[in-house]
A and B are shown apart, each in its own frame.
Chain A
C-alpha cells in the first residue's frame, strides 16, 4: 500500500531523483548507512559540546538559586513558548520532508523543506526580537546590564549563559536553515543526487537543534514559573 502510494506520488511529482555512488563505497545501502551514522556521531559530539554548557549552568544555578529565579522572570515567557511551538512544528514538517524524500517525491519534499525553513526563520526572527527587548530592559551583560544589587552577580551569570546558549543554538539553527533551503531549492529543480539520504541526514540535525531548545526552554524561561 505504502509502496503504491510512494510510486503514485513519485509519478505525480515528476519521477525519481538519481543516486550517485562514491568510488569507495560498495553499494548505495553502505553509502546511506555511512552518512546517517556519520551524522549520529556528529550529534554525539554536539551533545557533549552543549553538555559542558549545561554543566556550567547547573553549577552556577546551584550557587545562585535566588538570582537565577529572579533573572528568569525577566525573560519573555510568551515569546519563548511561541518559539517552542514553532520549532516543534518545524520538526513535524522536517519529518514529512524526510518521508517524502524517501518516497522520492522530490516536489513534495521541496515544499515540506520550504515550510521547515520558513518556520525556522520565524523562530530566528522572534529570538532576535527578544534580544532587542532584553537590550531595552538593560539585561545584556557587558553591554548594558542593570539588576537589583543583591542579586547582581548571579543575574549577570544567568543572562551571560542565556545569551551564550541561545546564541549558539541560533547559530546552529541558521546553519540548519541554510542547508534545508539549499536542499529545498535543489529538490525543486530536481538537481540533487542522493536526495533521500541528504534530507534524512539534515533531518537528524534539525531534530537535534530542536532537542537542544527543548532543554534550553525550561532551564531559561521556567525557573521560577512553576
Chain B
C-alpha cells in the first residue's frame, strides 16, 4: 500500500533527526499499569485520544438514531420522549466529552511541550489527574445513559431541568461538573507551561500559532468553566432541595440561569474552534511551503477572538425577553467577532498564494476546515442579526450553523491534526491515498448532511422534534443519506490508521519537512522529548517555497 519515504534529511530546514539511541516514550512500559500511572504528557495524550474516540462513537451512534428517525415525517422509530433523550445525550457527550477536550487534551497535550522545547507540562501529576477526572465525569454520564437518559437538552434550561423533568438530570450535572475540573486543570497546566517553560530563544512571537491557540483556549477554560461549575451546583441544589434562584415559582429568575449558562457555553465554542485554527495554521503553512501570512495579526486575532468571545453570550437570548438594548449590544459585539475570524481566513488564503501546494491528506482536511468554517461563520452573522434571529431561533438553521463550526470546522481540523502529526505520535506512516479519500468523503458527507438543514431552518422546521410535516421530507432524506457518507468518513480512518499502527512503514523524524521543534526530535519522541533542549534562533514557519516545495511533492509520490 505504501512505502517508506525515501527522503534525504535536510539540515538547513532544522529537520535532521537525531540518532534514535534513546528509547521512545512508547517503549517506556507496555503494561496497563504503566499507562494508567504515567506522568508523561505524551502518554496522557494517548489516554485522552482513546477515551474521546470512545465518546465520539457513543455520540455518533445516538446521532445515527436521530437521523434514521428523521428520514420519515412520522415518529415511527422512537417516541417523542426517547427522541428528547437522544438529542440531549448527543449534545452532552459531543460537547463535553469530545469537542471541548478534543484538540487541547490530545494534540495539545502531546505537542505543546514538544513545540516549546520542554520536557513535559509544568504539572505532570495534575495532567494525569485531569484525565482521571475526565473518566469519572464520563462514568456519571454513562450511568445516566444506562439508567434511562436525560431529556432536558444539553442546555439544562431551568425550571424544566429543576422541576419538571423526570429523568436522571443529577447524574449528568455531576458528570459535566466533574469533567469541567478536568478542563480547568488542563488549561492551568498549559498557561503555566507556556509562560515558564519555553526553550531558550523561543520568544512569544516565535511561538507556533498552535501554541498561541492553545494558550488562548487555556485562558477561556480557566475563566469560563468555573462559572458553569457554580451554575450546575445551583441547579442541582434547586432540583434536589426544591429551593433556588432560577425557578420563578420559587421566587427565582430563569433568565439568570441562561446568562450564567451562556457565559460559559458561548466561550466554549471558542474552546472548540481556536485550537482547530491553530492546527490549520500549522498544516497550511507546511503544505503551501510558505510562512504564515501576517503571523503577528494571526496571533492577535486569536487573542481578540478569545477576549471578544467572552462578551457575546447574550446573542443566545435574543428571544428570551432580555432587554432590547442588551440585545443590540450583544448583536454588535457578535458582529465584532467576525473581524478577527475573517482576518484568519484571509491570512490562510494569502498563505496559499504563491505557495507550492501539495494536497496531502492533512492539507485536504485543513482546506475543508477553511471552507466549512467560512460558511459556518457567515451564517453566524445571520443569527447575530436581531430581527433575522427571531425568525431563525430554534430552527434547523441554528443546528446547521453550529455543526458547520463544530463538526465541519473543529472535527475536520482535529482529524487533519491527527493525520499531520500521526507519524510523530506513532512513528508510523499511513496510506495517504486512503486518507485523502476519507478526507473527501468527510467533506462531501458533511455538506450533504448539514447544508439541507440550513434550507429546512429557513423554511421554518423547528429543532428538537421527532416528527415534521411531510413537505420537509426531501431535505431530511438528503440529510440522513449524507449522514451515511459522513459516518463512513469517520469510520474509514479507524481502519487505515489502525493498520498503520501495526503494519505501517516507519516514519523518520520529519516526514513532511515541516518547521517546528516537534519535528527535530525522533518519531516517536523519546521519553523526555529532547536529547538536549534546542535553542531557537528564527521565527516560526521558516519555509522556503522554491526549494523545498519539490521535496514534499516527492514525499507524497513515495506513499502511493
Which A positions have Cβ atoms within 8 angstroms of B? Answer: 22-26, 30, 33-34, 37-38, 41-42, 44-46, 48-53, 55-56, 59-60, 63-64, 141-142, 153-154, 156-157, 160-161, 164
Contact yes or no, B226 A45, CB < 8 A? yes
Shortest Cβ distance from residue A171 to the other chain B in the assembled complex, whole angstroms = 12
B residues within 8 A CB of A55? Answer: 256, 260
Interface members, chain B 156-201 (any A CB < 8 Å): 184, 187-189, 191-193, 195-197
Binds A, one of B146-154, B228-236, B433-441, B490-498: B228-236
Binary contact track B202-239/A, C-beta < 8 Å → 1, others 0: 00000000000000000000111111011101100100
Shortest beta-carbon contacts, A-B, top 7? A153-B251, A52-B230, A49-B226, A24-B120, A24-B119, A48-B226, A34-B122
A residues within 8 A CB of B230? Answer: 49-53
A residues within 8 A CB of B234? Answer: 52-53, 56, 164
A-B contact pairs, 16 of them (CB 8 A): A23-B120, A23-B528, A24-B124, A34-B123, A34-B192, A38-B123, A38-B126, A46-B226, A51-B226, A52-B226, A52-B234, A56-B245, A56-B256, A56-B260, A157-B245, A160-B244
Complex CA–CA separation, A154 to B253 (angstroms): 12
With A23-B528, A56-B245, A64-B251 already in contact, the answer to whether A33 and B196 are too (CB < 8 A) is yes
Complex CA–CA separation, A141 to B231 (angstroms): 19
Shortest Cβ distance from residue A128 to the other chain B in the assembled complex, whole angstroms = 20
B6 close to A (CB within 8 Å) = no
Contact of B197 among A30, A41, A56, A164 (CB under 8 A): A30
Interface members, chain B 236-287 (any A CB < 8 Å): 237, 241-245, 250-253, 256, 260, 263
Contact yes or no, B256 A164, CB < 8 A? no
Per DSSP, chain A at the interface is helix
Q: Which residue of B lies closest to A47 (CB)?
A: B226
Q: Which residue of B lies closest to A63 (CB)?
A: B253
Q: Which residue of A lies closest to B190 (CB)?
A: A41
Contact yes or no, B222 A41, CB < 8 A? yes
Interface members, chain B 413-454 (any A CB < 8 Å): none
Complex CA–CA separation, A63 to B256 (angstroms): 12
Binary contact track B116-136/A, C-beta < 8 Å → 1, others 0: 001111111010000000000
Contact yes or no, B241 A52, CB < 8 A? no
A residues within 8 A CB of B243? Answer: 141-142, 156-157, 160
Complex CA–CA separation, A34 to B127 (angstroms): 14
Complex CA–CA separation, A49 to B184 (angstroms): 11
Complex CA–CA separation, A157 to B234 (angstroms): 12
Looking at B122, B123, B256, the one whose CB has the most chain A CB atoms below 10 A away is B122
Shortest Cβ distance from residue A197 to the other chain B in the assembled complex, whole angstroms = 13
Contact yes or no, A45 B188, CB < 8 A? yes
Beyond A37-B192, A60-B245, 8 additional pairs, beta carbon < 8 A: A34-B192, A41-B191, A41-B222, A45-B223, A49-B230, A51-B230, A53-B234, A63-B253
Complex CA–CA separation, A221 to B421 (angstroms): 57
Contact yes or no, B192 A141, CB < 8 A? no
Interface size on B, residues (CB 8 A): 44
Q: Which residue of A lies closest to B40 (CB)?
A: A24
Complex CA–CA separation, A156 to B250 (angstroms): 9
Contact yes or no, B196 A157, CB < 8 A? no
A residues within 8 A CB of B197? Answer: 24-25, 30, 34
Binary contact track B95-129/A, C-beta < 8 Å → 1, others 0: 00000000000000000000000111111101000
Contact yes or no, A24 B528, CB < 8 A? yes
Complex CA–CA separation, A30 to B187 (angstroms): 19
Complex CA–CA separation, A60 to B226 (angstroms): 20
Contact yes or no, B227 A48, CB < 8 A? yes
Shortest Cβ distance from residue A16 to the other chain B in the assembled complex, whole angstroms = 25
A residues within 8 A CB of B187? Answer: 41
Contact of B251 among A38, A41, A52, A156 (CB under 8 A): A156
Q: Which residue of B lies closest to A48 (CB)?
A: B226
B residues within 8 A CB of A164? Answer: 233-234, 237
A residues within 8 A CB of B126? Answer: 38
Contact of A52 among B189, B227, B242 (CB under 8 A): B227
Contact yes or no, A38 B226, CB < 8 A? no
Q: Which residue of B lies closest to A143 (CB)?
A: B241
With A23-B119, A48-B223, A52-B226 already in contact, the answer to whether A41 and B253 are too (CB < 8 A) is no
A residues within 8 A CB of B184? Answer: 45
With A23-B528, A24-B119, A156-B243 already in contact, the answer to whether A59 and B231 are too (CB < 8 A) is no
B residues within 8 A CB of A161? Answer: 245
Contact yes or no, B260 A42, CB < 8 A? no
Complex CA–CA separation, A22 to B124 (angstroms): 10
Complex CA–CA separation, A48 to B223 (angstroms): 6
Shortest Cβ distance from residue B225 to the other chain A in the assembled complex, whole angstroms = 7
A residues within 8 A CB of B251? Answer: 63-64, 153-154, 156-157
Q: Which residue of A lies closest to B244 (CB)?
A: A160
Shortest Cβ distance from residue A61 to the other chain B in the assembled complex, whole angstroms = 11
A residues within 8 A CB of B195? Answer: 37
Q: Which residue of A lies closest to B181 (CB)?
A: A45
Complex CA–CA separation, A180 to B195 (angstroms): 28
Complex CA–CA separation, A53 to B256 (angstroms): 11
Q: Which residue of A lies closest to B250 (CB)?
A: A153
Shortest Cβ distance from residue A58 to the other chain B in the assembled complex, whole angstroms = 10
Q: Which residue of B lies closest to A142 (CB)?
A: B241
Looking at B126, B256, B263, B533, the one whose CB has the most chain A CB atoms below 10 A away is B256
A residues within 8 A CB of B229? Answer: 49
Binary contact track B335-361/A, C-beta < 8 Å → 1, others 0: 000000000000000000000000000
Shortest Cβ distance from residue A164 to the other chain B in the assembled complex, whole angstroms = 7
A residues within 8 A CB of B196? Answer: 30, 33-34, 37
